[in-house]
Structure 1
Amino acid sequence: MKPIKKITLTFFLMGFLVCQSQEKQKKANASSPTMGQSSNVKTKRLATTVEPNRKFSYPERELDYLMHIWEGEYDNVEQLDFDKIQLKEGQKAPHERVHASVRQFQNSNFGVGAVYVEEYRNDDPSNITRKCVYQLFPDDTEKAIRVKVFHFEDKTAVLAAGHSFDRISSLTPESEALVEGCEMILRRNGNGFLAKTVDKSCNKSTDGQQTTDYQFGITEDTFEFQEVKYDFGQRSADDEQVSAYQLEKARCFTCMLDFPNDTNGRPTVTKYYIDMYDQGGSFEFEYPDGRQMHFGMRNTWSFGMHRETFVIYIVDKATQKTLIYSWGNPGADRIGFNPGWVRVQCDLKTPGNLKLQQELRPGS
């Protein structure tokens, strides 16, 4: 064999082996997602599961788009602020704090069109109020998407507790761990989707007199839900209804908190590396002098500027006084402050930013 051919063949084999090694590494890393990460596995789209040359039906196209936008973290912390402003004396706040996590359910037993939804309330990850799988099918007759709902008997947190999806990956729609709920129909609604219970008498109260129509809506940046009450088949009066819960999609940031360093060497030392969501993320910590402090992150409405503002801040818990804050545009991927007594840097959580932060503060 000629030398040139030998060299060409050698490079070809080396390239092939490197590609194979990288593929194996990708599969090995495809574990359950950590906070702020959806998955290391590329999410399947509907287009990859049908004949590539076949024309999609309208419901198939809608399902494909829905699966593309729905996954993420959602929180209604901003809604609570507006509730508080509008409350009259003696009135009870209409909504609780709700955080929802939505992940595409990578399980062939449920098909490609399935998502896992986990909700907790009052900023308590152990207070799980909804834990279910939505199995979605394109319905050509209805020109919509049909939804089968499967509730988990066990309401123990999975995503909120940072547990692996391996716990539920082997489930099927027939699993004893699941209870089938009310079927729903999901249709296009403006720039998003709205799902309603098919049988309004499906969710009954204990005495059977009251029923609930659970509805939810999805857009690219929001997730809303409402329980519409009925008495003896008639929709209850407006003053007996609770308006929809309005959750906004959250982004995860990784932050480092630095304190002044009294010893020789670097002027500051990184005390904490933390992950926070920009929709009401919070972290409690103790300052070196013993004071208890609250570090928060918000995408909040600025009444003075009439727009949303991305804010981080520190509050002294004893006095409830805001000691420092910083603001920027809602779409910013980095924010921080350094008044001298503390240094905070928050970056949108990506592998590159994580590496950058570790390099900025080696050994801390």
Structure 2
Amino acid sequence: MPISTRHYQKKAALLVAGFACLSPTFGWTQATPKAPVLSSPALSPQALPPEMTPEGILKDIVNQSIAEQAGVPDLATPAVVPAKPVPVPVKPLAPAMVEVLNKDLLDLADLLAGRWDNELQTFFEPELNVPVPLRHERLHAVVRPIEAPEFGPVSFYVEYRKGGEAGPVVRQRIWTLSVDQELGAVRLAGFAPKDGKPLEGAWRQIEGSEGLKPDQVKKDSFTPVAGCDIIWRRRGEGFSGATRPAACKLVTNADKRVLNVSEQHDLSANVWEVRDVGVDERGVRVFGGSELPPTRLKRAETFTCWASVAKVAERAIVSDLVVHDQGGIANAEFAGGSPAKLRLRLRNVEWPIGQNRPSLTLYLLVDGDDRAEGYAWGEPTANRLALDVAGTQVSCTRDPRARWR
């Protein structure tokens, strides 16, 4: 059978070349003899490898032809086996660096824990003429350390509410912190509850309960938020964190769109700024953006208060009211008192414009109206504020023990 492949053509050419080397007259007209000339003694011919001899080449051609007819792979040409990728070993961190990262983890855990609110930001945005589409919703976030052995030694229950601490729950998570030696950073992983309703408000420490128990946070009741881990690194006195590029994808509840989400965090002792952007598969931005200022959460410090109003010949008193200083509100009711109801608001104000000094301010609100009937103020770090307005008395004392109430 004729050999038509390029491979066999090359083999045939080699065969011809071999014959030409062995027989000077092969395929050529014999030259006219000339007189002998003096020359060096002829060297012994060097032996060819077997596969380069005419017999070897002819044998190879025959084998290839047989293999082609049988439909088997090329017998002469070895199969090209792709080289296996060589794993690049992760160089272990030096013990001193591991110790630094372990300390970073604990420091980050201390900073995250607490209650956070952006009430000041939302309160001043209208006054600053921030365009309505760029204004922020008010968020109240609780990050409470919990005992959750199935998740890890450093875990938190996280709850976000819209509109303040009494608003509807918009997000719940279990967060865990761990050292990522490959990245040289602290990794925050999130887990979403399959049914979050039983956990709503479970962070609160009420009489006879210290909050969430380990049996309430079983790992099989949660779904990992894959690809959305936040990688934290120390930045001065605080930390900065971000998701990995193009790694975090979430599905919207309403229309089930897949969003590519990115988050950036800057965390210090009393301020937590979050900038997030969500873009759908068509490239349409759903939320966030570079032109939008970050959500600016302030750490909320708790106070316990008592309030007293006139009641005929005596006074009605309500005590153990808990309120936080980032726009927190406490309600009091007085049976037979005047007024029968009142509300307290506490705000640690930082004025974005004007000459006013930062002040811790206590407001007295009556009959559901946000207009203050009276107020008192002091230094931002004041431990106690009190007021007396037309016989209504209120006193509030800083109380870190009430943080989870």
State whether TM-score is above 0.5.
yes
- State how far apart, in whole Å, the 2-side matches of 1:284 and 1:57 are: 47
Could you tell me which of 265, 271, 280 is aligned with 1:222? 271
RMSD of aligned Cα (Å): 3.2
Pairing 1:247–2:297 present: yes
Change (3 A) 1:126 1:97: closer
Secondary structure, in 3 states, of the residue corresponding to 1:62? helix
- Alignment partner, residue 84 of structure 1: 126
Structure whose CA Rg is larger:
2
Pairing 1:276–2:323 present: yes
Aligned ranges 1:293-332 → 2 under 5 Å = 293-302=342-351, 303-317=353-367, 321-332=371-382
- Alignment partner, residue 65 of structure 1: 107
- Alignment partner, residue 215 of structure 2: 170
Aligned ranges 1:149-164 → 2 under 5 Å = 149-156=190-197, 157-159=200-202, 164=209
Secondary structure, in 3 states, of the residue corresponding to 2:322? strand
Any conservation in 2 of the 1:158–1:165 contact (CA below 8 Å)?
no
Any conservation in 1 of the 2:157–2:203 contact (CA below 8 Å)?
no
Any conservation in 2 of the 1:217–1:225 contact (CA below 8 Å)?
yes
- Structure 2's unaligned 5+ residue stretches are 1-94
Secondary structure, in 3 states, of the residue corresponding to 1:109? coil
Query: 1:59 offset after TM fit, Å?
Result: 1.6
Any conservation in 2 of the 1:109–1:171 contact (CA below 8 Å)?
no
Query: 1:346 offset after TM fit, Å?
Result: 0.6
Query: 1:262 offset after TM fit, Å?
Result: 2.9
Any conservation in 1 of the 2:318–2:333 contact (CA below 8 Å)?
no
- Alignment partner, residue 384 of structure 2: 334
Any conservation in 2 of the 1:74–1:99 contact (CA below 8 Å)?
yes
Pairing 1:179–2:208 present: no
Change (3 A) 1:124 1:335: closer
Aligned ranges 1:1-364 → 2 under 5 Å = 55=96, 56-87=98-129, 91-92=132-133, 94-123=135-164, 125=166, 127-156=168-197, 157-159=200-202, 164=209, 167-170=212-215, 175-181=219-225, 182-205=228-251, 210-230=259-279, 232=281, 242-263=292-313, 268-285=315-332, 288-289=337-338, 293-302=342-351, 303-317=353-367, 321-349=371-399
Change (3 A) 1:57 1:183: same
Any conservation in 2 of the 1:101–1:159 contact (CA below 8 Å)?
no
Q: Which amino acid aligns with 2:296?
A: Q
1:205-249 deviations in Å (ceiling 9; x for gaps): 456564111333321112232322345597959868643211111
- State how far apart, in whole Å, the 1-side matches of 2:369 and 2:323 are: 24
1:29-63 deviations in Å (ceiling 9; x for gaps): xxxxxxxxxxxxxxxxxxxxxxxxx7553321211
- State how far apart, in whole Å, the 2-side matches of 1:115 and 1:224 are: 19
Q: Percent identity?
A: 22
1:290-324 deviations in Å (ceiling 9; x for gaps): 57643211111245544321001113447754221
Change (3 A) 1:122 1:211: same
Secondary structure, in 3 states, of the residue corresponding to 1:176? helix
- State how far apart, in whole Å, the 1-side matches of 2:121 and 2:259 are: 27
- State how far apart, in whole Å, the 1-side matches of 2:354 and 2:148 are: 48
Normalised by the size of structure 2, how large is the TM-score? 0.63
Query: 1:85 offset after TM fit, Å?
Result: 1.6
Any conservation in 1 of the 2:117–2:297 contact (CA below 8 Å)?
yes
Query: 1:171 offset after TM fit, Å?
Result: 5.8
Any conservation in 1 of the 2:202–2:212 contact (CA below 8 Å)?
no
Any conservation in 2 of the 1:125–1:160 contact (CA below 8 Å)?
no
- State how far apart, in whole Å, the 1-side matches of 2:282 and 2:240 are: 22
Change (3 A) 1:117 1:196: same
Normalised by the size of structure 1, how large is the TM-score? 0.70
Q: Relative contact order: is structure 1 or structure 2 higher (C-alpha 8 Å, sep ≥ 6)? A: 1
Any conservation in 1 of the 2:114–2:143 contact (CA below 8 Å)?
yes
Change (3 A) 1:209 1:166: closer
Change (3 A) 1:239 1:338: same
Any conservation in 1 of the 2:140–2:165 contact (CA below 8 Å)?
no
Change (3 A) 1:320 1:105: closer
